[in-house]
Amino acid sequence: MYKGELIHEQEGRIDVAIKRIKLLSEETEEGKKTRKYLNSERDVLSTLDKHDHIVRMYDAFEKEEYFYLVFEFCERGEFIADQGCPEGLARQILYQVILALKYCRIKGIAHRDIKPGNILMTAAGCVKLADFGVARPVNFTSEEICTIGIGTHGYTSPESDDGDYSKGDEYAIGCLLFKLLTGRLPFGDPVKNMRAFLKNQDSEKYNFNDVDCSEMCKDFISKLIKRDVGERMAFDEMLSHEFVSGFKVEYLECQCSLTKVEVKV
């Protein structure tokens, strides 16, 4: 990721983040795949333009051997959740992510890769959802689009293994909140022990033993990380749940667990 400067017609001179990807030959499978994902991110972000909690794309273009995506610059970078954070901070972050994802759903888009690394923050503390490279329409039917294995293990829903992402973002929100609070995933680390992870996920086995959070927070999580899609809360149900109902966004002053975006000038 590179930091650059853009002279915008309405906003004047602004800082931007530039993603530059080297393109391989279109004659190779890898080259075709890379272009497909880059074009998808461009098209999806064009559809989701100008939402307060979705990173804004200013431009996308191909030049010589590179593809460039130009985004708003989020000065405080991505959220690192390895140590966990207080419930109040987690709720502030989660609420803004829910607003972004509900807007995506209204537009018919599933993000498919919700995780702390795809949550950015501006200097003012506004949360922005980023990285729409694997996002797709919710009701897709193409076998090419329903690629199994999309997303990040630990956050993806059980049914995603069968190519069903219709309610995968809702499941990921529950995993995200658990991670923000504890620094760990609810069903264990799939990288370290995939067998134990799948067993715990299948039986919905998790605990709040080391979590200092309210009962309403625990209830909120439990209603999202359900294996049964029909039992999982939808976005409107989330926003009416007491954990976030009537909540007001207060841009975050707390600097804990944040990292600056690594940029090159």
pLDDT tens across 115-172, in order?
999 999 999 889 999 999 889 887 655 444 444 457 898 999 999 888 888 899 999 9
For residue 122, being part of any structural domain is answered with yes
In a shared domain, residues 36 and 153? no
In this structure, what CATH number is given to the domain that contains residue 105? 1.10.510.10
Name the nearest CA neighbour of 160 among 182, 190, 180: 190
C-alpha span between 105 and 110 (Å, rounded): 6
Question: Hey, which residues are catalytic here?
Answer: 113
Model confidence band, residue 240 (pLDDT cutoffs 50, 70, 90): very high
C-alpha span between 232 and 8 (Å, rounded): 42
The predicted structure's pLDDT at residue 149: 54
* For range 179-188, the mean pLDDT: 92
In a shared domain, residues 15 and 65? yes
The predicted structure's pLDDT at residue 155: 94
C-alpha span between 191 and 60 (Å, rounded): 34
| Alpha carbon of residue 74 to chain centroid | 15
In a shared domain, residues 51 and 175? no
The predicted structure's pLDDT at residue 56: 93
In this structure, what CATH number is given to the domain that contains residue 61? 3.30.200.20
pLDDT-wise least confident of 194-198, 225-229, 247-251: 247-251
* For range 175-185, the mean pLDDT: 93
For residue 216, being part of any structural domain is answered with yes
Model confidence band, residue 52 (pLDDT cutoffs 50, 70, 90): very high
Is 212 a residue whose pLDDT tops 70? Answer: yes
Contact of 71 with 19, CB cutoff 8 Å: yes
For residue 260, being part of any structural domain is answered with no
For residue 248, being part of any structural domain is answered with no
The predicted structure's pLDDT at residue 251: 61
Q: pLDDT of 77-128, one tens digit each?
A: 888 777 888 999 999 999 999 999 999 999 999 999 999 999 999 998 899 9
The predicted structure's pLDDT at residue 146: 45
* For range 55-84, the mean pLDDT: 89
Please state, rounded to an integer, the average pLDDT across all residues of the chain.
Answer: 86
Strand partners, 16: 4, 72
For 123-134, the DSSP string reads TT--EEE---TT
For residue 254, being part of any structural domain is answered with no
In a shared domain, residues 170 and 44? no
Is 27 a residue whose pLDDT tops 90? Answer: no
In a shared domain, residues 46 and 158? no
The predicted structure's pLDDT at residue 127: 95
Domain total in the chain: 2
In a shared domain, residues 66 and 119? no
The predicted structure's pLDDT at residue 93: 93
* For range 46-59, the mean pLDDT: 90
In a shared domain, residues 189 and 81? yes
Taking the whole predicted model, whether its pTM rises above 0.85 is answered as yes
Domain closes at, from 24, 53, 72: 72
The predicted structure's pLDDT at residue 140: 58
Domain closes at, from 32, 52, 72: 72
Measure CA of the first residue to CA of the last residue in the chain; give whole Å.
Answer: 9
* DSSP state, residue 160: G
The predicted structure's pLDDT at residue 120: 95
In a shared domain, residues 93 and 57? no
In a shared domain, residues 109 and 198? yes
In a shared domain, residues 156 and 227? yes
For residue 209, being part of any structural domain is answered with yes
In a shared domain, residues 101 and 232? yes
Range of the domain at 52: 2-72
C-alpha span between 74 and 65 (Å, rounded): 27
How many other β-carbons are positioned within 10 Å of the β-carbon of residue 173? 24
In a shared domain, residues 61 and 106? no
Model confidence band, residue 253 (pLDDT cutoffs 50, 70, 90): low
